[in-house]
Amino acid sequence: MASTKDRIMGASAELFRRNGYTGTGLKQIVAAAEAPFGSIYHFFPGGKEQLGEEVIRRSGGTYVEMFDAVMDAAPDPVAGVRDFFAGAARLLVETGYADACPIATVALEVASTSEPLRRATADVFSAWIAAGTERFAAAGVPDDVARELTISMVAGLEGAFVLSRALRTTEPVEVAGAAAVAATREALRRAGSAGGSAA
């Protein structure tokens, strides 16, 4: 069984995805985690802000692992990008458009009001960009192009999540995915990589 701290962090991540950081109260978190209220301050002496920072950093690492797993399972980078966006669209449908990315949700809310949380979201986004850049560079794409491609993908996906949740359709994610697939294919073609020939 998960430890009390892990249950608190897991419940927080889910609630942040659904309700945002400011829309999630500590009482909601402990209720969802089935934990005593005092355990929040036992594990997170800095209160909600410290909890939020740790949840952001852990969730950010989990998303990198998911991206790596999808890309590793794909026959080439183009198919990997397609599968990643398709998975994001499925998640939206399966959760009734309630779950998206907790990192972007929190970043939008707190970037101007909490420096620790802003730094945490910035560090996560930087880690995602570094991971994607490394992945595409390993496939033969020049480093600068690989970085631009990754930033475009992250920005496209996060923006698509916002539109999809508001419109209650996966069309924005599908459009962003198609654009990311086309950009990946073109980057690989220009680099002369065999992956660029993927359908």
Return the pLDDT at 1.
64
The domain covering 48-193 belongs, at the CATH homologous superfamily level, to Tetracycline Repressor, domain 2 (1.10.357.10)
Residue 161 CA to residue 30 CA, distance in Å, equals 27
**pLDDT above 80: residue 193:** no
The end-to-end CA distance of the chain, in Å, is 44
Q: Is 47 exposed, middle or buried (0-12, 13-18, 19+ CB in 10 A)?
A: exposed
> What mean pLDDT is predicted for residues 171-184?
98
Q: At what angle do helices 77-94 and 48-73 cross, to 10 degrees?
A: 130
Residue 87 CA to residue 136 CA, distance in Å, equals 19
Q: Can you give the residue ranges of every domain in the chain?
A: 48-193
Return the pLDDT at 17.
85
Per residue in 47-96, pLDDT (tens digit) is: 999 999 999 999 999 999 999 999 999 999 999 999 999 999 999 999 89
State percent of the chain over pLDDT 70.
96
| Amino acid (1-letter code) at residue 190 | R
Q: Sorting pLDDT into bands at 50, 70 and 90, what band is 198? A: very low
Nearest to 122 by CA among 133, 111, 109, 135: 111
> What mean pLDDT is predicted for residues 106-118?
89
Return the pLDDT at 111.
80
